[in-house]
Structure 1
Amino acid sequence: MTVVALGIDALDPELVDSEAHGNLTLAAHRSIETIESVAGEPSTHELWPTIITGLPPSEHGLELGDDGVSWGNPLLNAGSRVADFVIPDGLQTRIGAWLLTNTDTDAFRTPATYYAENGLTTVFDGREAIPIGVPNYVVDPDSEDREHALRRSLGDLFERDPEATGGHTSSDPETFYEQCMEMAMIRVARARRAYRGGRYELVFAYTSGLDLIGHVTYDRPALQRAAYNEIDDFVGELRADLGADDELLLISDHGLQDGVHTHEAMVAATDESLVEQIASVVDVRAAIESELDGTDHSGAPTHRTASGEGGDVGGDRVKEQLEDLGYM
């Protein structure tokens, strides 16, 4: 038995529909509480460490600065110190936005070693688990997959602009949409491949594609609706892989409407009891651990078909998809 957790950044409980999006609502779903940052809205930088540790940002320590910019990178730390003494407060967020847009800096690349070094435990500890793209839990800081590479190369397709609705602009929303969908496909395909390999009791993958699209489609609601429909299809392919004893859990860190983060997150699962255990982002870790601890996870097959019964026909199909996307 395997638990597959898929983090879908900005999956909004008010924008999913159990009839239209059966794979995003699964057997049960609900809105859950999230946590606001000092910027006044939920922050991806803070919330995924919360989800994997069960701790609020004040306890895990990965918090935004007072200006709403995450100064976790050495370059940004230096910029923050200079800004505190030289530059008026109103300009500090613009400086952070410029640094994040015009350099290779990424606010979400805290190495996994941070947690042990600071006496923090995570849902991955002591288990056969694979984290895939989890923000601020980077197992190998020297490597990146295609979602991360695409995100860093977006250029003017996704520029930070504190004056714009949602804080971002895009020179070509349709092209940007296609790249974000590719990013989501890659992460879902990686989750499918990790599951099919049969080595893990917990597969925990994350994608930012829906969040990115939401930030620039405040005046193009049809694109955001299309993104929900496509993400539902991608999750459906992952869901079809799972065996009868496996569980799928979907998690978001916040919602996103009209270009800005909303103050509700959501969960959905193939097991209603998993959903019942989660009322807030701080509850996700405990719910996953309860499911894993209460179930025998030994004897997972090495390869599985779409029905989960063994063989590798479906695995070949996933491999071909990864090769087409340039990941393999």
Structure 2
Amino acid sequence: MVLVVLGIDALDPDLVAQGEYPNLTLSDHRAIETIDSIEGEPSTHELWPTIITGLTPEEHGLVLSDDGVAWGNPVLEFGSRVADVVLPDGLQTRIGAWLLTNTTADAFRTPKRYYAENGITTVFDDCAATPIGIPNYVVDPDETDREHQLRQNMGELFQRDPDARGGHTSADPISFYEQCLEMAMIRLARARRALRGHESELVFAYTSGLDLVGHVAYDQPGLQRSAYEELDDFVGDVRDDLGDGDELLLVSDHGLQEGVHTHEAMVAATDGDLVADIESVTDVRRAIEAELDRTDHVPERRVLDETDGAGGEAVREQLENLGYM
């Protein structure tokens, strides 16, 4: 039996409540508290490490700097040291934005070893787990998947702009939308493959597609509504793959409305007990571990019958047709 966790960046409880999204609400759902960064709004860079560790950003140490940029690799660290000495705050922030837009620098690629080196445990440590694309928990820094590659090469489709609402602009919002939804499809398809493999107790897959759409859809709200509708269908595909005893948990790090992060996250689950005691992003790890302790989730490879084999092959064909396998 498998517990599948889908980390859906910016899944907003208010927006979910405004539509018919049975697969984004599942059997039970609730709004939960999140944590603001130094910029005054929740930060992806800080919050996914919080979700997998149960620690606040100050405790796990992956925090935004005063300029609002997560200086997390040699290029950005060097830029930060120079900027701290010679540049005014406003210009420093713009240079950080330029680096993240125009280079392959990525603020969310802290390697897995960071946690062990700093004596920090995670939800993945004591179980057979498959983490997929978790920001700031990179299993192999030398490998990327298609979602990450798409995000790195967006160019003018997604540019940081401190003067724009939400801090981003897009030269072509429609093309950008298609790319973001492709990103979401990739990560959820990978979750389906891991679920069908039944070699893990915990499958935890993250996608940023919904967050990215929300940042540029402030003047085209129909794009954000469409993203919720499509994501509901994508999650429905994962839900359909659940076997007896498998459970599904959705978790977000914050909401997003009118281009700006909101101060509320959400959870949803196929079993109401999974979310009953989650009040904050700091409670998610404890809830996952309680479910793994409460129910036998020891990995057991599924013996495929003809129906399972056909379904598994269909998922594989979809990935092959999209060029991901």
TM-score, length basis structure 1: 0.97
Q: Which amino acid aligns with 2:229?
A: N
Whole-Å separation in 2 of the counterparts to 1:265 and 1:193: 27
**Corresponding residue for 2:6?**
6
Q: 1:190 to 1:299 in 2, by over 3 A?
A: closer
**Corresponding residue for 2:243?**
243
Whole-Å separation in 1 of the counterparts to 2:244 and 2:233: 20
**Cα distance, 1:180 vs structure 2:** 0.4
Q: Any residues of structure 2 matched to 1:174-253 within 5 Å, and which?
A: 174-253=174-253
Q: Any residues of structure 2 matched to 1:33-112 within 5 Å, and which?
A: 33-112=33-112
Indicate yes or no: 2:268 matched with 1:264: no
CA contact (8 A) 1:303 1:315 kept: no
**Cα distance, 1:299 vs structure 2:** 5.9
Deviations 1:170-195 (A, max 9, x none): 00000000000000000000000000
Q: Which runs of 5+ in 2 are unaligned?
A: none
Deviations 1:265-299 (A, max 9, x none): 00000010111121000000000000001111236
**Corresponding residue for 2:310?**
313
Q: Which runs of 5+ in 1 are unaligned?
A: none
**Cα distance, 1:96 vs structure 2:** 0.5
Whole-Å separation in 2 of the counterparts to 1:43 and 1:191: 24
CA contact (8 A) 1:278 1:284 kept: yes
Identity of aligned residues (%): 71
Indicate yes or no: 2:128 matched with 1:131: no
Whole-Å separation in 2 of the counterparts to 1:159 and 1:88: 22
Please state whether the residue corresponding to 2:308 is helix, strand or coil: coil
Whole-Å separation in 1 of the counterparts to 2:89 and 2:33: 30
**Corresponding residue for 1:281?**
281
Please state whether the residue corresponding to 1:266 is helix, strand or coil: strand
Q: Which amino acid aligns with 2:84?
A: D
**Cα distance, 1:300 vs structure 2:** 2.5
Q: 1:49 to 1:304 in 2, by over 3 A?
A: farther
Please state whether the residue corresponding to 1:15 is helix, strand or coil: helix
Q: Which piece of structure 1 moves more, 13-22 or 280-289? A: 13-22
Indicate yes or no: 2:26 matched with 1:26: yes
Deviations 1:9-54 (A, max 9, x none): 0000000138610000000000000000001100000000000000
Q: Which piece of structure 1 moves more, 309-318 or 209-218? A: 309-318
Q: How many residues align?
A: 325
Deviations 1:95-140 (A, max 9, x none): 1000101111000000001000000000000211000000000000
Whole-Å separation in 2 of the counterparts to 1:176 and 1:37: 27
TM-score, length basis structure 2: 0.98
Whole-Å separation in 2 of the counterparts to 1:260 and 1:226: 18
**Cα distance, 1:252 vs structure 2:** 0.2
Deviations 1:31-85 (A, max 9, x none): 0000000011000000000000000000100000011111111111111111111
CA contact (8 A) 2:128 2:299 kept: no
Q: Which amino acid aligns with 1:95?
A: I
